[in-house]
Structures are given as C-alpha cells and as structure tokens.
Amino acid sequence: MHLDIRTLFLVAVMTMTLLGLVSLTFASLRPGNPAIRLWGASLLVLAGGLVLIVLRGVIPDVLSVVVGNMVTVAAIVLGYRSLRMLRAQPLRDYLGWVLVLAITASAAFYLYVEPNITLRVVFFSAVAAFLLFRNAWLLGHDAPSDARASHRITAGIFGFFGAVHALRSAAVWVIGRPEDLMAPHLPDAVLMLVTMAAIICATLGLLWLEVRRLQHDLAHLASIDQLTGALTRRAFSSEFAREVSRRERDKGSFGLAMFDIDHFKRINDEHGHLVGDELLRAIADSLRQGLRAHDVLCRYGGEEFVVLMPGADKAAATAVADRARRSIEHRGWITDKSGIVITVSAGVSAYPEDGRDWDALIGAADAALYTAKRRGRNCVVAAAADPSSALSA
C-alpha cells in the first residue's frame, strides 16, 4: 500500500497555509517585530511553490518545475531572513538569492536541455539541505544565554530537516527515482510527512523564541523607569543584593547616595507637571554624566534618586555625589516661561561601615539626606558624619 503523493502534497499545502496564517496573526499582535510576519509570509510562499509542483501535468512544465522549484527555495531563503531578523542581524543574503537563481537555471536545464529528473532532484535537495543547515547554524551558534535551550532545540529541528534533504540527495544520486514526480514512491511519501512535521515544529520553535523575546522585553520594561530611563526600585534592589554578595566575598566596600530635588513640589505648582517631568528627565541625564561608568542609577520614587557606587568607600562616594550635585547646580534650566535654578541635596552611606543590608544602608543615606535638607539644602552629607562635614555650594 502506497501513500498518494499528490494527496500528501495537498495536505502539506494546507498545513503550511494554516501555519502561515497563524504566524501572521501572531505577528499582528506585536507589530514591533517583523520576524514572525516574514516567517508567516515564507510559509505562504512555500505553500504556493508546492501548489505549482503538485499541478505537474495540469499546468505547463515551466510553471510546475522551473517556477515551482524557484518559489520553494525562495521560501527557504525568506525563512532565513526572518531568523536573521529574530537574531537582530543584518538582512544581507546574496548567497541565498544566488542559490535561488541557480535552482531556477538547473531546473530549466535538466527539464529542457538535458532532461534528467534524477539530477534535478539531487541538486534541489542538496541546495535545500545547505540552506536548512545554514538556518540551524544561525540559531544554534552563539545563542543568547537566557534563551539557549529554545534556540538550540529550534536549530536542531532545522538541522534534522537539512539532514533528511542531504540523505535524499545522496539516495537519489545512487538509486535514481521515477520519472513521474507524482508516482507512488515511498521515499517521497516519507519526505512529505517529515516536511510537514518539521515545518510544524520549526514554526512552534520560532513562536517559542518570540515568546521568550517578549518575556525579556517585558522584564526590561519592568526594570526601567519609563520617564527617566533609570532603574526602577525593584530592579535596583536586585542590583543592590548582587553588590552585597560580591563585597561579602572580596571584603570590599561600596557607596550609596540618595538624591532629592530641592523644592520640587514648588516647581511643579508654579510651572506645571510637564515641566516637572522634563526636569526629572534632565536631572537623571545630569546624574549619569556626573557619575562613573559602572555606577547604577535608580529612580527611588517621586523626585528621589539613588545611586549605587561599586568599590567606593564613603569618602569616594561623597566626592562623586558632590560632583554630581555641582553639575546640576551649575546647569541652566530653561522652560518656555523662564529660567529655573535647580539644586539637589544628597545623603551618602557606605557598606559595610553603615550597615550590611538594604534597610540599614538606605536608612543611613536617608537620615543623612534629611540632615542635608535641615542644613539648608544644596549639599551632600555623609551618614553619621559631623554636620560640619557637609559639602555645600
């Protein structure tokens, strides 16, 4: 009993059409990333190529053989481009399109000049195997550490499909094949079943990769304050915990500075919240410029910012905080109405001198900030320091 090849082709066409539409629908839910949309389009193109091939004997051979093979390989190349989009790589793929032209030329040559279905199938399967192995390499090579399993499993699917085509190319080269492509032929039936399974698994794999990307993006959004670009309090607490762990191992220190914008409520009342938001963004930018490259900035809440300074003792952290304070004080702030003089106050604490956990260090910095406010604002005070040690303008 033989499986009908034409029926298997039609089932494959319906499967790829359905998967293509599912991919396009999924992509429409997140327009920002076109990779899944292009993958869906490639599946529809592949379905179109198979329709042309299955109509052999019904439509002219130039359409069924030459154009059908060209469209099928072009679909694999488009799929490769979608994977490059997914990996955020340049889309240049001259080799892929050269191979599309080569397949087109070989199909025409072995159809009209030197009719030979065996060589036509051997060349097509060899090119398909190369392109599929290329997909596997793209996904599996240097996979992101946070999504390595999903990349490697999907790469394995492409690699397996490529191996099947390579085996087909070698087998047809050795034993040949029937002249009629739609004649009952067990290897072709197996190939169509494997093709459907591989396309289904590859599509699920790509959707898996996209879901992982969505999870990563959502985690990033949750960790970044959308107004200022600084870390959120929750993300900062994770950075703080990691820094404590590092310093417990190497017996080192780090500094913590808490900044508060002086008279911010009055500025909001006089100039409006839009100006207040603009100033928050500008002050966050100024703090970044005044800090060291490896310091970590957080919007702690409202008009308060906290800075983690790895490796800094209290004296160094106080100096860094005061440099940031002076850069803000000396900057001119212009609104559509008038210039605004902005200053900040800061309190500084240090690990392990002022504590070894979040509550102790934040509490010490906050108490020092309160002292800075009582001493007239626009100054930096170190925790547990004598009031006369406050650094001011």
Q: Which residues are known catalytic residues?
A: 303
Longest CA–CA separation in the chain, Å: 97
| CA–CA distance, 111 with 99 (Å, rounded to integer) | 18
Q: SS3 of 311, please?
A: coil
CA distance 122 to 120: 6
Query: What span, in angstroms and rounded, lies between the C-alpha atoms of 133 and 160?
Result: 8
Identity of the amino acid at 14: M
Hey, is 200 helix, strand or coil? Answer: helix
Task: Name residues whose C-beta falls within 8 Å of residue 380's C-beta, 6 or more positions apart in sequence.
Answer: 257, 318, 321, 322, 325, 345, 346, 347, 348, 372, 390, 391, 392
Rounded to 5 degrees, φ, ψ at 2 are -110, 145
Task: Spell out the residues 6+ positions from residue 193 whose beta carbon is closer than 8 angstroms to its own.
Answer: 3, 8
Q: Are 222 and 232 in contact (CB under 8 A)?
A: yes
- Whole-angstrom CA distances from 162 to 39, 62, 122, 209 are 18, 26, 13, 20
Beta-bridged to residue 104, according to DSSP, are: none
In this structure, the number of other CB atoms found within 10 A of the CB of residue 87 comes to 16
The two tokens of residue 180 are 């009629």
